[in-house]
Structure formats: structure tokens, C-alpha cells
């Protein structure tokens, strides 16, 4: 099994070029937004924990709570397993989020092993953790593991941008969007990055009602 990754902007540009040959409607978008930022991160326990902490919170609230956890040295599995619920609550974690981070500790994920797993295998491992859904797992594939063929069809921004790109009369369901974009493989990460940039453009122009 060959695992395709996008390591740098040059490789992303190559994927975009191949994608535009498959789906020419991306050409005017690319001309407007250029090569999107890859936004890669180091991954691992800390990255997933941060994603869980930030769920359903404003950026400001999530940043504040995360900084308190960092300051208290509570962002690794050993520290979490040794901390009391009261200590975690004192940093701003809700009862639900405490359950999530304990589940992450309990699953003891071999993050190095994820590097060589197929995309769907990675998703299965990550979503076994309470509090990690498919979208979070796909973000990990895209930004931590740098995978080249990931499109988050559940993502609101991607659905809105795809509706405009494909001239659909309504926002597509994840199932329909998956069907409509299967032909974009193996360049769906490039497609997702372009669609996110396009969504930002649409919002600035207030072209699409949300």
C-alpha cells in the first residue's frame, strides 16, 4: 500500500494542477485564491486533546482553556491520568470534556503506527475514542498526517463552497457530496483546501446565504 502525502506547497500545486484537469471548474477558484496554506501540525496526543478541548467552543474560549492547561502542564497522557477531575475542572474543562480526555488516555494510541495505516484505518482508530468524530479524524489525516486524498464532506464550509462550485440548487448531503466528488481522487485534499479558501471568498462577498 502506497500512502500519498502532501509535504510542501510545491506538491500541493501539483495536486491542484491534476485536480483542475479532472474538474475544470476549480480553475477560476485557483486563479482567485492561489495555493492555499497547508496548515500542517505535529499531531500526536497533544494535538488531538486540543481539538477535543475546543469542540463547540468559541475560538477565544478554547484558546483560553487550552492556555490554562498548558500553564498547568496538563497536556500529556501521564499528567491527565494522574490529575483529579477537580483539577481538570479548575482549568475550565466540562464534565463531558473530562470524559473525552480520559478516553483519549485510555485508548493509548500508537501515533507512530498511524503514519503507515490507510486513511480509513486511521479514522477507525481515532473515532474509537469518545469525543472524536469522523470530522476530527479527517482533520488529523489532513493536517497532522499530511494525507493527499481527504475531503471532509460533513464540513459546513466545504458543503457551501461545493454547492456554489457545482451549481447545485441546495446544500448537498455528505452522501451526495461524496458521490459527486469521488472522481476528484486522489487529489481530494487539494480540493478541500481550495474549497475552504473559496468559502472565505464567498463569505467576504456575502454571495452565499448561510
What residues act catalytically? Answer: 155
DSSP letter string, 198-210: HHHHHHHHT-S--
CA distance 141 to 127: 12
CA distance 199 to 66: 27
Closest CA to 176 of 198, 157, 159: 159
Backbone angles phi, psi at 2, to 5 degrees: -95, 125
Closest CA to 135 of 39, 42, 52, 16: 52
What does DSSP assign to residue 72? Answer: T
**Cβ-contact 15, 6 below 8 angstroms:** yes
Backbone angles phi, psi at 147, to 5 degrees: -70, 145
CA distance 105 to 119: 22
Q: How many other CB atoms are found less than 10 A from the CB of residue 137? A: 24
**Cβ-contact 127, 109 below 8 angstroms:** no
Amino acid at each position: 500500500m502506497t500512502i500519498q502525502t502532501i509535504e510542501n506547497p510545491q506538491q500541493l500545486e501539483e495536486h491542484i494542477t491534476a485536480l483542475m484537469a479532472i474538474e475544470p471548474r476549480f480553475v477560476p477558484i485557483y486563479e482567485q485564491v492561489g495555493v492555499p496554506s497547508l496548515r500542517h501540525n505535529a499531531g500526536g496526543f497533544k494535538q488531538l486533546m486540543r481539538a477535543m478541548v475546543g469542540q463547540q467552543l468559541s475560538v477565544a474560549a478554547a484558546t483560553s482553556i487550552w492556555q490554562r492547561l498548558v500553564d498547568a502542564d496538563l497536556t500529556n497522557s501521564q499528567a491527565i491520568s494522574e490529575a483529579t477531575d477537580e483539577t481538570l475542572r479548575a482549568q475550565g474543562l466540562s464534565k463531558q470534556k473530562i470524559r473525552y480526555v480520559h478516553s483519549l488516555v485510555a485508548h493509548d494510541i500508537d501515533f507512530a503506527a498511524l503514519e503507515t495505516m490507510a486513511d480509513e484505518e486511521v479514522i477507525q482508530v481515532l473515532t474509537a475514542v469518545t469525543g472524536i468524530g469522523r470530522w476530527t479524524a479527517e482533520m488529523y489525516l489532513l493536517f497532522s498526517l499530511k494525507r493527499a486524498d481527504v475531503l471532509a464532506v460533513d464540513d459546513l464550509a466545504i458543503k457551501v463552497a461545493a454547492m456554489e462550485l457545482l451549481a447545485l440548487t441546495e446544500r448537498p448531503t455528505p452522501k451526495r457530496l461524496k458521490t459527486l466528488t469521488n472522481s476528484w481522487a486522489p487529489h481530494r485534499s487539494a480540493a478541500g483546501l481550495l474549497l475552504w479558501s473559496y468559502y472565505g471568498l464567498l463569505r467576504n462577498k456575502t454571495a452565499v446565504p448561510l
